[in-house]
Amino acid sequence: MNEYVGIDIGGTKIEAVLVDERNTVLNTCRIPARPGAQNVLDDVIGITRRLGGEPVAVGVGLPGQVDSVTGVVRDIVNLDIVKLELGREASKALGIPVQVENDVNAAALGAVALIDDQVSAGDTVVFLNFGTGLAAGVVRDGHVERGYSGSYGEIGHIPVDPNKFLCNCGQRGCLETVTSGGSVAKLWPGQPPLPDLIEKAKAGEPRAMEVYGIVQHGLADTIQVVGQAYDPKLIVLGGGMAKTGRPLLDMIVEEMRRREETSHFITSLHLPERLRLAPVEQPIGAIGAALAAPRD
């Protein structure tokens, strides 16, 4: 039975898995991420060898501009990478094919695999990554949707939030400015931010209630954008904020139910019923990267 390696590269850590053809995890490894193109290349090679086994292919998920055809990655600010021909160089060193994929797309594949019992052939599933930023990975009939320019799923930069906070992209009012983990930490610098915000808001603290309302409204807007633009069977909530668990889900559903009270159209979409929490206790990104590895 063939074995595959999946590697999830973040700004602070690299997580890798060795899986078989049934996506059963045979081994795992985690190391700190090191900035610099050569370091990232060396770490991809090193962690693959450390996992052991006899992998026939490798998949790597990472942020930045990723060309999944050429294996070239660009502009990964947190890792100090301007350009790296990761696919070609890692494949040459390891002697096996290496597929490079956007990290959110990889996580989307991993999430679908881990909730496989709820997904049928032909279904569309959207994975929402509430991390430092906000982005969506769209999986249709088991395959990642990419679009024309590589910006498919960049819903975090849709400028619809009425607060009009300045976004790093240069626009104002982007969804990312009120719904990402990074933005919530700025709006409510608690420890950890979202659980603390929810607790304080439920206790009636005025400023917490104000921020809670801002974030809740943005989260519901995000779900509506996804529901109406992609019409997926499931919307899976992932990323760092998803570790909040059920309170995050409740926060969104509460606002969606409010909107349903005044709109038959919103009620007819049944969006709350489509929401799922990603199994964040599992290495979703690395498993998804393994699924992205070339398979005969």
Which class for 205: exposed (0-12), middle (13-18), buried (19 or more C-beta within 10 A)? Answer: middle
> Domain for residue 288, yes or no?
yes
> How confident is the model over 136-151, as pLDDT tens digits?
999 999 999 988 877 8
- For residue 6, pLDDT beyond 80: yes
Tokens encoding 19: 């899986």
Quote the DSSP letter at residue 167.
Answer: P
> Domain for residue 112, yes or no?
no
Please indicate, yes or no, whether residues 129 and 272 belong to a single structural domain of this protein: yes
> Domain for residue 113, yes or no?
no
> Domain for residue 19, yes or no?
yes
Please indicate, yes or no, whether residues 57 and 187 belong to a single structural domain of this protein: no
Which pLDDT value is given to residue 64?
Answer: 85
Residue among 68, 71, 75 at smallest CA distance from 104: 68
Residue among 237, 136, 224 at smallest CA distance from 194: 237
Residue among 184, 158, 156, 174 at smallest CA distance from 240: 184
Please indicate, yes or no, whether residues 124 and 244 belong to a single structural domain of this protein: yes
> How confident is the model over 220-248, as pLDDT tens digits?
999 999 999 999 999 999 999 999 999 99
Judge contact between 89 and 167, C-beta under 8 A.
no
> Domain for residue 93, yes or no?
yes
How far is CA 169 from each of CA 158, 189, 197, rounded to the nearest angstrom? 11, 22, 26
Quote the DSSP letter at residue 279.
Answer: -
Please indicate, yes or no, whether residues 51 and 181 belong to a single structural domain of this protein: no
Residue among 194, 104, 204 at smallest CA distance from 154: 104
The pairing of strands 55-62 and 3-9 is: parallel
> Domain for residue 81, yes or no?
yes
Please indicate, yes or no, whether residues 140 and 257 belong to a single structural domain of this protein: yes
Which pLDDT value is given to residue 25?
Answer: 95
pLDDT band at 295 (very low <50, low <70, confident <90, very high): confident
First-to-last alpha carbon distance for the chain, in angstroms, is: 12
Question: What is the distance between the alpha carbons of residues 19 and 35, in angstroms, rounded to a whole number?
Answer: 27
Please indicate, yes or no, whether residues 154 and 87 belong to a single structural domain of this protein: no
> Domain for residue 135, yes or no?
yes
Please indicate, yes or no, whether residues 129 and 262 belong to a single structural domain of this protein: yes
Which pLDDT value is given to residue 148?
Answer: 82
Please indicate, yes or no, whether residues 46 and 95 belong to a single structural domain of this protein: yes
Question: What is the distance between the alpha carbons of residues 49 and 18, in angstroms, rounded to a whole number?
Answer: 10
> How confident is the model over 64-92, as pLDDT tens digits?
889 999 999 998 988 999 999 999 999 99
Amino acid at 237: L
Tokens encoding 130: 């509430």
Which pLDDT value is given to residue 77?
Answer: 81
> Domain for residue 205, yes or no?
yes
pLDDT band at 191 (very low <50, low <70, confident <90, very high): confident
Please indicate, yes or no, whether residues 94 and 15 belong to a single structural domain of this protein: yes
Please indicate, yes or no, whether residues 264 and 135 belong to a single structural domain of this protein: yes
Judge contact between 184 and 214, C-beta under 8 A.
no
Domain of 70 in residue numbering reads as 3-107+282-292
Please indicate, yes or no, whether residues 148 and 273 belong to a single structural domain of this protein: yes
- For residue 296, pLDDT beyond 80: no
Number of domains in the chain: 2
Which pLDDT value is given to residue 171?
Answer: 96
Please indicate, yes or no, whether residues 59 and 125 belong to a single structural domain of this protein: no
Which pLDDT value is given to residue 229?
Answer: 96
Q: What is the CATH number of the domain that holds 122?
A: 3.30.420.40
Judge contact between 178 and 214, C-beta under 8 A.
yes
pTM above 0.85, yes or no: yes
